[in-house]
Amino acid sequence: MSATGQKPAYELLGLKEKEYRGICDAMGREPNYTELAVFSLMWSEHCGYKHSRPLLKNLPTEGERILQGPGENAGIIDIGDGLAIAMKIESHNHPSAIEPFQGAATGIGGIVRDIFAMGARPIANLDPLHFGSLEKPRQKYLLEGVVEGIAAYGNCMGIPTIAGEIHFEDAYEGNCLINVMCVGLVEQDKILRAKAEGPGNLVLLFGSTTGRDGIGGASILASAEFDETAQEKRPTVQVGDPFTEKKLLEACLEMRDKGLLVALQDLGAAGLSSSSSEMASKGGVGIDMDISRVPLREQGMEPFEIMISESQERMLAVVTPELKDEALAVCEKWDLDAVIIGKVTDTKRLRVFLGEEMVADMPVDALVDDAPTYIVEAVRPAHEVDEPLAEDHYRLPSDLNETLTTLLRSPNICDKRWVYEQYDHMVQTNNALWPGGEAAVLRIKGRRSGVALTTDGNGRRCYLDPRRGARAAVAEAARNLSCTGAKPLAVTNCLNFGNPEKGEIYHQFKEAVEGMAEACEAFETPVTGGNVSFYNESFGQAIYPNPVVGMMGLVEDVSLIGTTAFQDEGDTVLLLGNARAAIDGSEYQLRIDGEVAGRIPDVDLEMEKKLQLLVREAILEGLVKSAHDVSDGGLACCLAESAIAGGRGAVIELGTDQRPDLLLFGEAPGLIVVTVAKNDLEHFAQLALDLPVSVIGRVEGDRLVIRAGGADQVNLPVEQAAQAWGAALEALVHG
């Protein structure tokens, strides 16, 4: 605090005193305000990854199909025949909690730019979302605003939103999680990178004009907890324009096709500051910029405002002098503001001019590579225990029909059609499998093969055991892909946590990253990049630790896709796996007893790999008629969902080694329900060899009947189950 009682400028910009001293050391002098503002963004948690960089190194990032791992705008995965998939997931949590429509819309805009910055045409969006209880009016407001924002931006750009997930729990009441993933298709010889090269080459800024929207978004908004001042941060939320982004996309891809680009980078968090310095760092060069040339939408903007503005729909490119005019002509064709604002140098410095006056001179390495990192002493939270709760901790419900119906109505399990039908999920006409199943599958026109995509995250399980929970999230994402017949290839992740400066949060993050690394190694699905979102706390209350996994896989033949729906009368119902289900961390525990406690079962990664391989091989041989993994709500909800999807009932006979409610509603990773025709049962058994496979029933009639202990525990008309499952979410939102 200064003698006048005011905080020093560096503290107002989100920097600690020792960080300010580090900036002075790197500069060899005290920075001026523009330089300090740039450093505050580049050394923020959002841009500098101060608490996560040392731990993220533990994630596997290489593989035979990985053409580009972390460090670029998006990861690139080889899918054969000269084609590749670009994919990335990021968060827009804090902006969406302040202004849900624009927060979600600009989240879509930012992740889409990451994809076409790699030279890829976006072909799909996915949206894993987490909110507080829908019993709270504000949570309904956030849900409706976020869904509307995603729909408005994605639909306008003609990019289908094809998959995702939605969870509702009290832990997200103060901080909703709005994660967005984008996937693009690119010819391998047209992949672009954000690596500035060639001293004397020119720096081209094009797209929208620059205003004051989003100033401080990466430091003031995204790198701090929420408190009573949260709504005062509303001006830091960016404003999106999807029509301009569509033009920007087409201009970038046209310049790519004409070979006009040396490098391409989007202006996201920290605006010109990050895009220019990161491009320079990757190329080992410097950049000089004259920001008096930047097209502005507001008068009187200060140099620091121009440098850190996060106005949307802007790109920075490096072009050769010889091709400058042709690049500018493409921008003019697409009605985009475009201007040469600088050049590449050999100085390894970012120098900013306002006409003839130099207003900032900073070493690139200090901005990008030398942000401080912190190791916090990890403290295991008291709620993490080593033993699961005893089975007799809970009373046995008197009516399991009613219990199943209650779970089917749960907003975490019920039909999400009310959400995804607001998205144009059919545009581009690549869908081989519609939303609502295990994963989305997209055709690649002109090929038999396709791409399967899914997201998965369960903060409740990670709260109880972050290592096991993260392993389970990766395993479930892989299981979802395998149930369509797709071989999992790669992961992109969005790691959502509270304040990492607290020992308990740091422990959760460390354990989750290590668990994710173990699972990705086991499934041979390298992490190609992603995002870390810290400080998801309100008034000191953190969200559940939630590492969200985005995964893609390759389908050899889209005509042989597995679905969740029961198919034909008389088909045999099989349960694959021998994992023992438990109540701890389950939806049953939350909905019936209202608590989150105990310890979740661990995933057997080796058994998972074998079972998933079996399912994929059986699908490709045409043996499997439906496949559905057992997850939220346990075996009973899995069976009910397959019955609802197919409009057919089933008669199920289960063992008696557990209480009926544990058998039906307990959860454990590693269980899959498949159906096969009676005539194919022997062939399937030959494929399975010694893997745990049990015949548990048959597809039959129009009721779901589940027997255990010699009695019908569930006997429910499929139509009644469908009504409970299908109408719940819209009723919760509008009722």
Q: What would the pLDDT profile of 348-406 be if each residue is shown by its tens digit?
A: 999 999 999 999 999 999 999 999 999 999 999 999 999 999 888 888 898 999 999 99
How far apart are the C-alpha atoms of 619 and 452, rounded to whole Å? Answer: 14
pLDDT of residue 392: 83
**Sheet (strand 75-80) strand order:** 66-68, 75-80, 83-91, 177-187, 121-131, 161-168
Residue-wise pLDDT tens digits, 78-102:
999 999 999 999 999 999 999 999 9
92 as an active site residue: the answer is yes
CA distance 476 to 457: 9
Mark whether 683 is an active-site residue.
no
Q: Please give the pLDDT value at position 234.
A: 45
Give residue 226's pLDDT.
55
- Structural domain boundaries in the chain: 562-735
Among the listed residues 680, 703, 553, 704, the one whose alpha carbon sits nearest the alpha carbon of residue 621: 680
**Catalytic annotation, pick one of 51, 92, 167, 628:** 92
Instruction: Give 25's contacts (C-beta < 8 A, 6+ positions apart).
Output: none
CATH of region 562-735? 3.90.650.10
Under 8 Å between Cβ of 113 and 266: yes
Question: Contact at 8 Å (CB) between 316 and 267?
Answer: yes
Residue 271: which of 319, 351, 216, 196 has the closest Cα? Answer: 216
Distance CA(278)–CA(635), nearest Å, equals 49
Q: What is the pLDDT of residues 214-236, one digit of tens each?
A: 787 555 555 556 555 544 544 55
CB 684 within 8 A of CB 622: no
Q: Could you give the residue ranges of the DSSP H alpha helices within 284-399? A: 303-308, 324-333, 364-368
46, 167, 507, 628: the active-site residue: 46
Radius of gyration of the chain (CA): 26
pLDDT in tens, 511-551: 999 999 999 999 999 999 999 999 999 988 999 999 999 99
User: So what's the pLDDT on residue 655?
Assistant: 84
Task: Kindly report the length of the chain.
Answer: 735
Beta bridge partner(s), residue 179: 91
Q: Which residues in the chain come in under a pLDDT of 50?
A: 1, 230-231, 233-234
